[in-house]
């Protein structure tokens, strides 16, 4: 075990470092859970039914008003207009025309 003095942001710390075997590895980004996304000030528009995406009415960067239609999902000849429950700016779109979606899938994220 060796002790080093390490300067971080102008402040010195004593750090103990042990020799370890070098191993290869990778860091995989875990998709953020919906609760984490919402707690960071984002709003998530969910699929209210399973179906096929007929149309996506917005693109990333668009400003969206509450009640604005953002997508249409079809199932069993039910065409479902998905309206935003929030004002916001489109931060991410997880769907495209022709995709199959499940109930509660995250469609569009607003910030």
Taking CB under 8 A as the criterion, the residue among 36, 65, 85, 89 binding other proteins is 85
What burial class does residue 64 get, using C-beta atoms within 10 Å of its C-beta: 0-12 exposed, 13-18 middle, 19+ buried?
buried
Site for other proteins in 22-61 (CB under 8 A): 45-46, 48-52, 54
Closer CB to other proteins, 104 or 111, in the complex: 104
Number of residues that bind other proteins (CB under 8 A): 23
Could you write out the DSSP letters of every residue in 65-105?
Answer: -TT-EEEEEEETTEEEEEE-SS-EEEEEE---TT-EE-TT-
Q: Which residues bind other proteins (CB under 8 A)?
A: 45-46, 48-52, 54, 67, 74-85, 98, 100
């Amino acid at each position: 075990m060796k002790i080093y003095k390490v300067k971080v942001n102008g402040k010195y710390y004593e750090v103990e470092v042990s020799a370890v075997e070098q191993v290869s590895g990778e860091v995989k980004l875990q998709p953020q859970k919906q609760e984490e996304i919402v707690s960071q000030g984002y709003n998530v528009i969910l699929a209210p039914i399973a179906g096929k995406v007929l149309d996506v009415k917005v693109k990333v960067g668009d400003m969206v008003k509450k009640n604005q239609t953002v997508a249409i999902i079809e199932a069993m000849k039910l065409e479902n207009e998905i309206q935003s429950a929030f004002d916001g700016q489109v931060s991410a779109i997880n769907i495209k025309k022709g995709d199959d979606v499940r109930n509660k899938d995250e469609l569009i994220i607003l910030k």
